Amino acid sequence: MIVLKKNGKYLAYKKIDDDYEYSDLSEVTAIDQSGYYWTSDYEQAKYFMSKDDVAFFMVRKTGEFWQGAVVANE
């Protein structure tokens, strides 16, 4: 599988979904805590189908979080 690694950790994505039903939007107080993070658990890694997919994904990523990330085929 093709993954992104940084400092020996894998890029992963977490999405937190609340399955609540609200009758009024003013009742919604949850904060979207979804996002990317680095993990040592290979099973949680975000997988890519090709190196082209990784390149397309990384075009839009900037900042310290992404610096030093490398493509790995494991």
Taking only the tens place, the pLDDT of each residue in 21-50 is 555 555 544 444 558 999 999 999 999 999
DSSP one-letter code for 40: S
Q: Which of 27 and 11 is assigned the larger pLDDT?
A: 11
What confidence score (pLDDT) does residue 31 get? 44
Task: Give mean pLDDT, residues 50-66.
Answer: 91
Q: What is the mean pLDDT of the chain?
A: 82
**Confidence category of residue 14, pLDDT binned at 50, 70, 90:** confident
DSSP one-letter code for 73: E
Q: Is residue 24 part of a domain?
A: no
Which residue segment(s) compose the domain that 51 sits in?
2-16+33-73
DSSP one-letter code for 45: B
Q: Is residue 44 part of a domain?
A: yes
What confidence score (pLDDT) does residue 29 get? 47
Question: Could you give the number of structural domains in the chain?
Answer: 1
Whole-structure pTM value? 0.74
Question: Where does 1-74 show beta strands of DSSP type E?
Answer: 2-6, 9-14, 35-39, 70-73
Provide the edge-to-edge strand list for the sheet that holds 2-6.
Answer: 35-39, 9-14, 2-6, 70-73
